[in-house]
Structure 1
Amino acid sequence: MHKPLLTTQFLDRARRDYGSHEAVVATTGERFTYEEVGERADRLSAALQDRGIEKGDSVAVLDPNTHYQLEAAYGIMQLGAIHTPLNYRLLPEDLEYILNDAEVRAVIADYELAEKVEAVRDDVPTEVFISNDADATDGEWEDFEAVIDGVDPVYDEPEMDEADVITINYTSGTTGDPKGVMRTHRTETIHAYLISIHQDITDDDTYLWTLPMFHVNGWGHIYAVTGMGAKQVCTRGIDAEWILETINEEDVSYLCAAPTVLNMLLDYYENHDVSTSGDADVRVATAGSAPPEATIRTVEDEFGWYLKHVYGATETGPLITSSDARRYFEDDSEDRFAVKKTQGIGYLGTEVRVVDEDGNDVAEDGQSIGEIVVRGNQVMDRYLGKPEATEEAFNDRVEGYYHMGDLATVDENGMVQIQDRKKDIIISGGENISSIELEDTLFEHPEVSDVAIIPAPSDEWGETPKAFVVPASGDPDAPGVSEDELTKFTRENLASYKMVRRVEFVAELPTTATGKVQKYELREREWEDEDSMVGQG
């Protein structure tokens, strides 16, 4: 039997089997059952359809982790429209690019964020503007509650195929232009199945939304947690005190947290007498480069939480590996840290390899370095409107595999561990920052003659952008501009999280014979006191 894999099945299952059970604890203090969430999504589907939204139209959502974002996602997808979540940290001009690139027909935005869209609304193809609080939003915006109030929750559901694109997630990639990662019903569904298994999601879980829902649809948790019928606690931001209080009050059993968030929780814990859990055992997932061993030790031994380290990219679902391989460690053994600090082994049905420049697998000796490539049913369909970038991403070193751009080793147990990055991407606090975009911005400053941006180690963010600047004066001791002025210049021209936070003036940059800047030399010098040239951001 063939049954199409559709993202709408997750809410369908939750409302059918867990309809009367609490589904969402909203930031407004309201509590909704899955039956209520489903009906609200239905009414939004009907309202969007009345406003001309059809199958294949892109509808963007700009929202923190509120119940509106969750309802909007399903209300959009039930129409076969393309759910396009937006990074709320971007500037208006960034959003303008995305809204045009995806040809977005409607935007649903939080009242605190809508001004970013309002600033560019005359320059985008969007026709429908909905806010979750129109009275608190400047401009002509419809109110979410008014839009769905009294609407008959009946809409014309189109025929949908698992190969249809149902969501576009934007990633910075290796250049300043965001890439639209096109994901189908099939890729989203299989990824959700995989994380349900590997993240041990069950119907008695209470999940705390510390991970932004816009990040690859919350790592697929808007599907998996919903489909399993678990309870979801929404958030408007990250606050360590509130998180720990909520974990106790709501008996939270599962959350995701970037190393930056873990550090915030640890700092608060060290200075306050607080409980780290309610009645439920807590597990936490963190992604990318592993937190330092001291962080893992505190989280597990003092917080009493179980840490799962996972890895992936927007293009891959995102999650493709996990170091939660319990046959290789005992829960109370010191040996577990060596395993948990790796990126681990591939998810079910996921083929993860580390290959050299000729596309051959490197030796499993924990020393030989190659690039991570992956093949699996959760990997993206393609980049929107970028066939050349798609071709390169899937065929650079070896044909038919997505190339992660991370350089790694493989040990005798098949555990992958990142050593360095092929791409000039800085990952700071879980956000991708393009060094090229930063360099282009600084080149616009009249006192900058040449510049190279690299990731520098940061206790707070894992990595932070550092600029090596050759001043127009030619004299690093008299550059004609201060470090603070250059920092301010980047803050004024880019999203705040992308700003340069460190500047070093130099007489020249290291280059090859052909004039290419040797960033590796700069990184090597900057990271000489660290265990690896990869941060924990």
Structure 2
Amino acid sequence: METPLVVTDFLDQARTHYADETAIVGAGGDRFTYAEFAERADRFAAALQERGIEKGDRVAVLDPNTHYHLEAAYGAMQIGAIFTPLNYRLTPDDYEYILADAGVDAIYADYEYAEKIEAIRDDAPTETFVTNDADAVDGEWEAFDDVLADAGTEFDRPEMAEDEIITINYTSGTTGDPKGVCRTHRTETLHAYLMSIYHEITDDDVYLWTLPMFHVNGWGHIYAVTGMGATHVCTRGVNADDVVSTIREEDVSFLCAAPAVLNQLIDYYENEGEPAMSGDNQVRATTAGSAPPEATIRAVEDEFGWYLKHLYGATETGPLITISDAKRLIDDENRFEIKKRQGMGVLGTDVRVVDEDGNDVPQDDQTLGEVVVRGNQVMDRYWNKPEETEEAFSDRLEGYYHMGDLATVDENGMIALRDRKKDIIISGGENISSIELEDTLFDHDAVADAAVIPAPSEEWGETPKAFVVPSNGDPDDPPVSADELTAFTRDRLASYKVVRRIEYVEELPKTATGKTQKYELRQQEWADEDRMIGEG
């Protein structure tokens, strides 16, 4: 028997079986059962229909991790409107582009960010503007709670097909205008199933929202946590003191955090005299992207007492496509080596590493290739960008999404990222992995954060340059000199990989999810050059 996979099933499942259980702990401490959460989503759905929003219309949500985000998302999706979450760190110009590109019909914006929308309101196609505190916002905005109070709970839920687009997630736009990643009911649903399996989500989980909900729908956790009947604990940003106290007070069992967030928590743990980092529940944490340093893994597992998983993916892929949590392959001797890898493909996902001709590289953990993927969780297309869509699925290997990451594969088929294609350093004809150099720098106790990029060199074309955040936070008086750090890398790397250029900085440019924006550093370093050797 075949039934359509639609995202409204997740809230329907929870309201049916967990009506009286806690669904959401709000950022301000408000608590909602699943019956209350569902009713608020129903009322928002009815209110949208009263304002003329129909199936296929776009409804944007600009909000930190509050209960309003979840209610607005499910309210929109229940009437078949396309949920379009927005990164709250963007500029008014960015929002003007996205609202116009997506043709957004209605927007809910948190009071802290609504002024950025108000600044470009007259140039946007949007007609319905809702916020959670209308008194704190200039302009004509409706108050979310008043909108719900005035609306009933009855609305017309249209018939929905699993191949229809239900969300558009905009990428960061680091190499041009942001691209809208179109995801269908089917891709969202199957990805949420994968998250539930590999994150071992159960109905008694308490999930802490440190990961932005806007980021590929919170890695699918707005669906998975809801559908399993677990508890969402909301936040308004990441503050280490608040995170740790919330983990203890709410007995948090699961959270996701970029390596930068884990490092904040480690600093807090060390500075506050090694406080308890959990309540009654054992804590599971997932991090993603480039591998965290061994010291980070060791601190999280051995000092905090948490269990750390490492996954890999992209907005275009759900994101989950690989995970390093391979318990049968891990022992005390190789624990860190395996946990630092991006890992093996998850169920129903074909992950390959291919050379420039589209052939699989050998499983020797030495030969570089690009990661490509095919699976049910991969996006449908880019919104209104057919050429970019075609390129993303056909560059080296037809029909596979191309991740833009270079990796190797070991004998167990587990991949390890070595660099982004655009971040590989080509020095004197030799390829140098910036990730390898960063990992080496992280091994020094005086390095709190580091990013390595290619810098122009008259002799070699390119040479590695490191931007380093010192452990004391003072770039003018770091606890280790640049020459000493260079010597440190010389003792650990081949001679052509040695980091000879080091610049101390107070902080590195980051995305909302904690990823270092190397393109900003590259633009700064290559501003006076005609081109980059590696075209990064």
Under TM normalisation by the shorter chain, which class is it? 0.7 to 0.9
Residue 78 of structure 2 is matched in structure 1 by: 78
Give the 3 Å change call, closer, same or farther, for CA 129–503 of structure 1 in structure 2.
closer
Look up the SS of the partner of 1:149 in the other structure. Answer: helix
Look up the SS of the partner of 1:87 in the other structure. Answer: coil
**Is the aligned partner of 1:517 residue 2:532?**
yes
- Aligned partners of 2:519 and 2:359: how far apart in 1? 39
- Aligned partners of 1:416 and 1:460: how far apart in 2? 31
For residues 111-130 of structure 1, what are the structure 2 equivalents within 5 Å?
A: 111-130=111-130
Per-residue deviation, residues 31-89 of structure 1 (Å, max 9, x unmatched): 00000000000000000000000000000000000000001110000010000000000
Question: Which amino acid counterpart does residue 214 of structure 1 have in structure 2?
Answer: F
- Would the aligned equivalents of 1:174 and 1:423 in 2 still touch at CA under 8 Å? no
- Aligned partners of 1:38 and 1:502: how far apart in 2? 47
- Aligned partners of 2:27 and 2:123: how far apart in 1? 32
- Would the aligned equivalents of 1:174 and 1:424 in 2 still touch at CA under 8 Å? no
Question: Which amino acid counterpart does residue 23 of structure 2 have in structure 1?
Answer: A
**Is the aligned partner of 1:324 residue 2:330?**
no
- Aligned partners of 2:423 and 2:387: how far apart in 1? 19
Residue 358 of structure 1 is matched in structure 2 by: 357
For residues 410-429 of structure 1, what are the structure 2 equivalents within 5 Å?
A: 410-423=409-422
**Is the aligned partner of 1:270 residue 2:266?**
no
- Would the aligned equivalents of 2:130 and 2:144 in 1 still touch at CA under 8 Å? yes
For residues 127-166 of structure 1, what are the structure 2 equivalents within 5 Å?
A: 127-166=127-166
- Aligned partners of 2:418 and 2:217: how far apart in 1? 28
Question: Which amino acid counterpart does residue 254 of structure 2 have in structure 1?
Answer: Y
Percent identical residues: 67
Look up the SS of the partner of 2:126 in the other structure. Answer: coil
After TM superposition, the score normalised by the length of structure 2 is 0.82
**Is the aligned partner of 1:52 residue 2:55?**
no
For residues 59-458 of structure 1, what are the structure 2 equivalents within 5 Å?
A: 59-173=59-173, 175-273=175-273, 274-330=275-331, 333-423=332-422, 456-458=466-468
- Aligned partners of 2:182 and 2:285: how far apart in 1? 28
Deviation at residue 176 of structure 1 after TM alignment: 2.1
Which deviates the most, 360-369 or 172-181? Answer: 172-181
Per-residue deviation, residues 377-432 of structure 1 (Å, max 9, x unmatched): 0000000111111001001000100000000000111110011111469999xxxx
- Would the aligned equivalents of 2:63 and 2:109 in 1 still touch at CA under 8 Å? yes
Question: Which amino acid counterpart does residue 37 of structure 2 have in structure 1?
Answer: V
Per-residue deviation, residues 240-292 of structure 1 (Å, max 9, x unmatched): 00000000000000000000100000001001032100000001000001100
Question: Which amino acid counterpart does residue 138 of structure 2 have in structure 1?
Answer: D
Question: Which amino acid counterpart does residue 266 of structure 1 have in structure 2?
Answer: I
5+ long unaligned stretches in structure 1: 436-451, 462-482, 488-495, 510-514, 524-537
- Aligned partners of 2:463 and 2:137: how far apart in 1? 37
Look up the SS of the partner of 2:207 in the other structure. Answer: strand
Look up the SS of the partner of 1:223 in the other structure. Answer: helix
Give the 3 Å change call, closer, same or farther, for CA 396–455 of structure 1 in structure 2.
farther
Question: Which amino acid counterpart does residue 374 of structure 1 have in structure 2?
Answer: V
- Aligned partners of 2:470 and 2:179: how far apart in 1? 28
- Aligned partners of 2:118 and 2:526: how far apart in 1? 42
Question: Which amino acid counterpart does residue 350 of structure 1 have in structure 2?
Answer: T
Give the 3 Å change call, closer, same or farther, for CA 326–263 of structure 1 in structure 2.
same
Question: Which amino acid counterpart does residue 172 of structure 1 have in structure 2?
Answer: S
- Aligned partners of 2:330 and 2:42: how far apart in 1? 47
Give the 3 Å change call, closer, same or farther, for CA 204–122 of structure 1 in structure 2.
same
Aligned length: 462
- Aligned partners of 1:282 and 1:113: how far apart in 2? 32
Look up the SS of the partner of 1:286 in the other structure. Answer: strand
After TM superposition, the score normalised by the length of structure 1 is 0.82
Quote the RMSD (CA, aligned, Å): 2.7
- Aligned partners of 1:92 and 1:453: how far apart in 2? 37
- Would the aligned equivalents of 2:194 and 2:347 in 1 still touch at CA under 8 Å? yes
Deviation at residue 502 of structure 1 after TM alignment: 9.1
- Aligned partners of 1:36 and 1:77: how far apart in 2? 17
Question: Which amino acid counterpart does residue 285 of structure 1 have in structure 2?
Answer: T
- Aligned partners of 1:157 and 1:295: how far apart in 2? 47
- Aligned partners of 1:214 and 1:390: how far apart in 2? 22
- Aligned partners of 2:383 and 2:133: how far apart in 1? 32
Deviation at residue 151 of structure 1 after TM alignment: 2.0
Per-residue deviation, residues 213-245 of structure 1 (Å, max 9, x unmatched): 000000000000000000110000110000000
Look up the SS of the partner of 1:371 in the other structure. Answer: strand
Give the 3 Å change call, closer, same or farther, for CA 455–323 of structure 1 in structure 2.
farther
- Aligned partners of 1:157 and 1:62: how far apart in 2? 24
- Aligned partners of 2:176 and 2:528: how far apart in 1? 25
Deviation at residue 334 of structure 1 after TM alignment: 3.5
Question: Which amino acid counterpart does residue 104 of structure 2 have in structure 1?
Answer: V
Give the 3 Å change call, closer, same or farther, for CA 455–384 of structure 1 in structure 2.
farther
> Which ranges of 4 or more aligned residues in structure 1 deviate by more than 4 Å?
424-428, 452-461, 496-509
Give the 3 Å change call, closer, same or farther, for CA 5–147 of structure 1 in structure 2.
same
5+ long unaligned stretches in structure 2: 425-433, 439-450, 454-461, 472-502, 508-515
- Aligned partners of 1:149 and 1:504: how far apart in 2? 51
Deviation at residue 296 of structure 1 after TM alignment: 0.1
Give the 3 Å change call, closer, same or farther, for CA 460–414 of structure 1 in structure 2.
farther
Deviation at residue 458 of structure 1 after TM alignment: 4.6
Deviation at residue 172 of structure 1 after TM alignment: 2.7
- Aligned partners of 1:180 and 1:385: how far apart in 2? 8
